[in-house]
Chains A and B, each alone.
Chain A
Amino acid sequence: MSALTLTAVGGESFQVTPQLVDFNLRLVFSGIGDMNATGVVNEYLKLVHEEALRIGLSQVSCDFTRLTFMNSSCFKSFVVWIDTVKTSEIRYQIAFLTNPNLPWQRRSLEALRRLAANLVTIETIA
């Protein structure tokens, strides 16, 4: 399998860190996804899709357990990404790992699951 070319991105208030295990890519999001993070998330998810196709990933897991909030602009980037995977010839599964102490996550991510129920799963990490 090819080595991961994605690197960690972000600054003081928001970070994304990639971890590749077998054919599963785990993206650990932390901090707050606000206006300052929108451009980072948008560009990063494009790279994730390119990387997923290049490596032949079977799943990308987005670990939100340390993400305190995500605004609608960052959320929109996930909508575009999921739609891109949905309409791609080569697809992979997308899993969101959520924190039960951050109730917005379940509400927001259910909307993404409804967008592509056959691609998106939501798992609560106790």
Chain B
Amino acid sequence: MTDTEDAPALVSLTLSFRPLANQIGPLRSLLSDLCAPHVADADGLSRLLLAAHELLENVVKYSVGEVAEFHLCLEAKASGLAIRLRTKNRAAPERMADARWRLDALAAAHDPIAHYDQLIRESAGRRDVSGLGLARIPAESEMELFYATEQDWLILTAEGNTSERLSE
């Protein structure tokens, strides 16, 4: 085993903020700048940024209250880079119930891409909300998505791996 298991994170960012839509673009650029030097290929960085973008938009759209949290951790492991993204926001009861329903269905699905395709077909006739953002994360980012609740706080965690850029 290499000593990378005990090394500090390559990137660790924790943000407490009042979520606004126009913050997502600059945050996405910051994450790209922080992670790009460590991620081996464009696909790995693209998957990370897609997951971060959808999680941040989810916070902006559905949080209540003035404070939300975002956390990114990029760690070097013997098997490559471990990515962990986490958001924490307060949610209204109806939103919490909807999120639980969607995330439980996602967790029960054996194939995240087949589940995503089914949601896309079901959403085609609906002209209201997208309902696709969270399911997109495991389907396109190849990251696992978990959730927890603490009273009216919804905590979403996405975890995945990618290849590390090796020093020349």
Q: Taking beta carbons and an 8 Å cutoff, which residues of A are in contact with B? A: 13, 32, 34-36, 69, 71-73, 75-76, 79-80, 82-83, 101-104, 107-108, 111, 114-115
Structural contact, A35 and B60, CB atoms closer than 8 A:
yes
Residues of B within 8 A of A72 (CB): 54, 57, 130, 132-133, 136
Given contacts A72-B54, A76-B123, contact A102 B46 (CB under 8 A): yes
- 9 nearest A-B residue pairs (beta carbon): A83-B124, A72-B133, A76-B130, A103-B43, A103-B46, A72-B132, A107-B140, A73-B130, A35-B21
Interface pick from B90-98, B113-121, B147-155: B113-121
Q: Taking beta carbons and an 8 Å cutoff, which residues of B are in contact with A? A: 21-22, 24-25, 28, 42-43, 46-47, 49-50, 53-54, 57, 60-61, 113, 116-117, 120-121, 123-125, 127, 130-133, 136, 139-140
Residues of B within 8 A of A76 (CB): 123, 130-132
Which residue from B50, B57, B60, B124 sits with its C-beta under 8 Å from A80?
B124
Distance of A15 Cα from B139 Cα, bound (Å): 27
Structural contact, A111 and B120, CB atoms closer than 8 A:
yes
Structural contact, B120 and A71, CB atoms closer than 8 A:
no
Given contacts A103-B43, A108-B140, contact A79 B124 (CB under 8 A): yes
Distance of A72 Cα from B55 Cα, bound (Å): 11
B35, chain A: closest CB distance, angstroms: 15
Distance of A32 Cα from B125 Cα, bound (Å): 25
Residues of A within 8 A of B121 (CB): 115
Given A35-B60, A75-B130, A80-B124, 20 new contacts (CB under 8 A): A34-B21, A35-B24, A36-B21, A71-B54, A71-B57, A75-B132, A75-B136, A76-B123, A79-B123, A79-B132, A82-B124, A83-B124, A101-B42, A102-B46, A103-B46, A107-B140, A111-B113, A111-B120, A111-B140, A115-B120
